[in-house]
Structure 1
Amino acid sequence: MALFLQGCTFAQQYASSLLHGKSQSSTRALKLGVLSTARINSAAVIHPAETHPDVELYGIASRDAQTAKNAATKYGFSKSYGSYQELLDDPLISMVYISLPNSLHFEWSKKALIAGKHVLCEKPFTSNAEEARELFRVAEERRLVVEEAFHWQFHPAAHLFRNILESNKYDRIIRTDAWMTSTPAIPSGDIRWQYDLGGGSLMDECYALSFTRYALHNERPKQILSAAARPSKDDGRVDAAMHALLLFEDDNGNPITSRIYTDLSRSRLGGVLPRVWELPSIEVETDAAIIYFYNAMMPHIYHYISITDKRTGITEYKTQSSGGPIWGDRWTTGGKGGKSYWSTYRWQLEAFMERVRDKEPICWVPSEDTVIHMECIDEIYKKAGMPIRGDPMEVVKDEKVRMAQKMEQTETSGRSEKT
């Protein structure tokens, strides 16, 4: 559903921009730089920044100067840069948003921190847990903000979901089931299929793991009970799909089993029609109820939280687009409780800017939670018999393969010339 949801959120953000216009920047607005001209930028940071008075869309960078210039003209950036480092060297930029391929998150986030910039980095935060720990170390050392962009956790619907689970009305949690799939399937050649770029379904669709850990207060699993991957046809190190079963425990030591399912290539129904009933979601079963959060990933497009009481058989439905348990009494740049048309990305930007301003944001993804999240991904890959991303041994192996291929091509070319 990734491509389908992306299309929906692009349309929603574009319509919101037209209907609600742009906010006038405040005199204290901070300059934002964007590393890459990735398609996600418009929904993830550009349109959200348009309605945040403390953010100025200042610079955008690409490896190609003309590409960067075109993006700057299209979206109203003041400057463009023909390299990522050139943007980081600009002393006027206070913060950067990084939407580069997964394998480049660590390198450029670290360079941005060293250059004195606050960082909002797309998920997955890094290639592995070791890299995540290093980024937070550098950020703490330099007293800078670095945040993984798990935008859905900032939305009021997510807070309502957790509030329902915490209410004790439905007793203890006994199991969870979370999923994220892609229909149409991610096309071949996409970076999500490339191991060297941090590809794989668990990496790209780690929202399913995020939903699960959020519902369970971001706990560390006691054990990865099982993990089975369906390898990509082109590279056995890349998971086209991943099934994992995790064991958690509640505060009283009671077991909670959690299933995670990710899939980049759901090809049924001809692989063309989106399976809208499979929007990224999570189901939580308690002793007394089944609680289902439909489209937890992008609730600003559409969502509902259904609660089926096992004791009565009655199902009730809830939604939350602004205010709610956390934002309800909070004054934001959009007024008290925020705006109902804000996307998950806009709510995220609200919190990010509070932290950058050295305030205490009302909700946040703590560094320790991000590290545990990456540790879980590493352990699931190991359990499935697959290499973790950024594994030095795999890098060496790749280099040897490339060298062998190059030598073979040279020899073949030489034989042809002699013939």
Structure 2
Amino acid sequence: MAMALQIATFLQQYIYASQHAIKKDQNALRIGILSTAMINPAALIRPAESHGGIIVSAIASRDINNAKETAHKYGIPHAFGSYEELLAEPGIDAVYISLPNGMHAAWATKALNAGKHVLLEKPVTANADEARAIAGLAEEKGLVLVEAFHWQFHPASHAVKDLVADHKFGKIIRTWARMTSPAGSIPKSDIRWQWDLAGGSLMDMTYVISATRYFLGAGAAKEVVYATARPLQEDNRIDEAMDALLKFEVDAGQVVQSHIWTDMNRANVGFLIPRVWELPSIEIETEHAIIYYYNFMMPHLYHYITIYDKRTKITTTQKHYSGGPLWGTRGEKWWSTYRYQLEAFVDKVRGKQPVHWVTLESSIAQMETIDAVYEKSGLGKRQGHE
């Protein structure tokens, strides 16, 4: 259902961004976009319209006509026919990189060497070696580099984190996270199916590991108990689906078992009906409760959080679209996960303490876990390309 969620977010952002566009600050951060990917409007262009501290100043493509067409469509002042040209532009402070997975490390490296801050689409790189390399470079240059796990910036996610972090319901016993897309919803020509671009279901649906680690407060997986891939028929190096059981160490040596499942070609019911109810979700069982967070990937569209108390046998439901334990009075109900993320990114670049942040250490641990799952499955870790 990832594609449907993205389309819905495009519409949501189009409606609300146009209604809440505001005047830009004199010293607004100027950001350029590397690629004309479909995600750009929802992830950056529309959210920036309602943020006075950032201007989408330029966009680049290897096809100048694509760059010009996109720039005209969204009112972006400058279009470039190569990524190098955009990075050489002195008036650009930061870049958003929405290139295919396998190209993330190469172009993040070039952006950092050009003195630009970087908002980098997930997964941060093709593998952990690349993640460590760009993290080290960002620290050396004193520049901001962050993996765009937008969902983590939303109040609903913080509310769930708050439920498990204070041990109100006891220690976490296990977790289970899933993400699927209906059969045929992702064309076989899509970059997500391409080995050379570090494709695969676990790479694209890396959210299941991100959510697991975030709510556990854990680093890289301690162990991959098993990892079973369903290879793509056209290229058996690519995982069409991945089913894995991981062990994470939390709270002074406690080990939690976490089941993850991704499927980019989930069979439809009776070959006809897409499983529209299978939005990205995570279940967290603690000693005294079972907490279920439905649609953690795009909670601004719709979500719910249920808490089943094992002691009272009562189930309660929560929804959070603004406020919460971290944002307080800051933010609006119509803000998307991407808008909250942008708020934090601008704060970080301006030297302020962001409400929430995805650290470089976390991104490295994320890739270490992904690598371990791929190795256990027999497919081997992904490789990067320029």
Question: Do the aligned partners of residues 271 and 62 (structure 1) sit closer, same or farther apart at CA in structure 2, a change above 3 Å counting?
Answer: farther
Q: 1:97-147 CA distances to partner (integer Å, 9 max, x unpaired)? A: 000011111111110100110000100000000101110111111111010
Of 162-171 and 285-294, more deviation after overlay is shown by: 162-171
Alpha-carbon distance in structure 2 between the residues aligned to 1:343 and 1:249: 32
Q: Please say if 1:231 is aligned against 2:224.
A: no
Q: Is the CA contact 2:307–2:316 (under 8 Å) kept in the aligned structure 1?
A: yes
Alpha-carbon distance in structure 1 between the residues aligned to 2:90 and 2:333: 36
Alpha-carbon distance in structure 2 between the residues aligned to 1:246 and 1:214: 14
- Please report the TM-score for the alignment, with normalisation by the length of structure 1: 0.90
> In the alignment, which residue of structure 2 is the partner of 1:266?
266
Q: Is the CA contact 2:290–2:307 (under 8 Å) kept in the aligned structure 1?
A: yes
SS in 2 for 1:157: helix
> In the alignment, which residue of structure 2 is the partner of 1:58?
57
> In the alignment, which residue of structure 1 is the partner of 2:382?
389
> In the alignment, which residue of structure 2 is the partner of 1:301?
301
Higher helix share: 1
> In the alignment, which residue of structure 1 is the partner of 2:33?
34
Alpha-carbon distance in structure 2 between the residues aligned to 1:254 and 1:105: 34
Alpha-carbon distance in structure 2 between the residues aligned to 1:280 and 1:292: 11
> In the alignment, which residue of structure 1 is the partner of 2:361?
368
Of 56-65 and 262-271, more deviation after overlay is shown by: 262-271
Q: Is the CA contact 2:217–2:250 (under 8 Å) kept in the aligned structure 1?
A: no
- Please report the TM-score for the alignment, with normalisation by the length of structure 2: 0.97
Q: Is the CA contact 2:101–2:384 (under 8 Å) kept in the aligned structure 1?
A: no
Q: 1:46-89 CA distances to partner (integer Å, 9 max, x unpaired)? A: 00111110111110011111110000000010010011111001
Question: Do the aligned partners of residues 321 and 391 (structure 1) sit closer, same or farther apart at CA in structure 2, a change above 3 Å counting?
Answer: closer
> In the alignment, which residue of structure 2 is the partner of 1:344?
337
Alpha-carbon distance in structure 1 between the residues aligned to 2:90 and 2:219: 39
> In the alignment, which residue of structure 1 is the partner of 2:23?
24
Alpha-carbon distance in structure 1 between the residues aligned to 2:151 and 2:358: 11
Of 199-208 and 214-223, more deviation after overlay is shown by: 214-223
> In the alignment, which residue of structure 1 is the partner of 2:77?
78
Q: Please say if 1:207 is aligned against 2:207.
A: yes
Q: Please say if 1:355 is aligned against 2:348.
A: yes
> In the alignment, which residue of structure 2 is the partner of 1:402?
none
Letter in 1 for 2:336: S
Deviation (angstroms), 1:21: 3.1
Q: Is the CA contact 2:218–2:248 (under 8 Å) kept in the aligned structure 1?
A: no
Q: 1:141-164 CA distances to partner (integer Å, 9 max, x unpaired)? A: 111101000000011111000001
| Structure index of larger Rg | 1
Deviation (angstroms), 1:25: 0.4
Deviation (angstroms), 1:184: 4.5
Alpha-carbon distance in structure 1 between the residues aligned to 2:384 and 2:181: 26
> In the alignment, which residue of structure 2 is the partner of 1:278?
278
Of 165-174 and 363-372, more deviation after overlay is shown by: 165-174
Q: Is the CA contact 1:4–1:184 (under 8 Å) kept in the aligned structure 2?
A: no
> In the alignment, which residue of structure 2 is the partner of 1:398?
none
Deviation (angstroms), 1:273: 4.2
Q: Is the CA contact 1:194–1:200 (under 8 Å) kept in the aligned structure 2?
A: yes
Q: Where do 1:31-180 residues align within 5 Å?
A: 31-180=30-179
Higher strand share: 2
SS in 1 for 2:219: coil
Alpha-carbon distance in structure 2 between the residues aligned to 1:179 and 1:322: 25
Question: Do the aligned partners of residues 271 and 68 (structure 1) sit closer, same or farther apart at CA in structure 2, a change above 3 Å counting?
Answer: farther
Of 249-258 and 345-354, more deviation after overlay is shown by: 249-258
Alpha-carbon distance in structure 2 between the residues aligned to 1:271 and 1:357: 51
Q: Where do 1:245-260 residues align within 5 Å?
A: 245-260=245-260
Q: Percent identity?
A: 53
Moved beyond 3 Å, runs of 4+ = 270-274
Q: Which runs of 5+ in 2 are unaligned?
A: none
Deviation (angstroms), 1:391: 7.1
Q: Is the CA contact 2:95–2:116 (under 8 Å) kept in the aligned structure 1?
A: yes
Q: Which runs of 5+ in 1 are unaligned?
A: 329-335, 396-419
> In the alignment, which residue of structure 1 is the partner of 2:322?
322
Alpha-carbon distance in structure 1 between the residues aligned to 2:260 and 2:159: 22
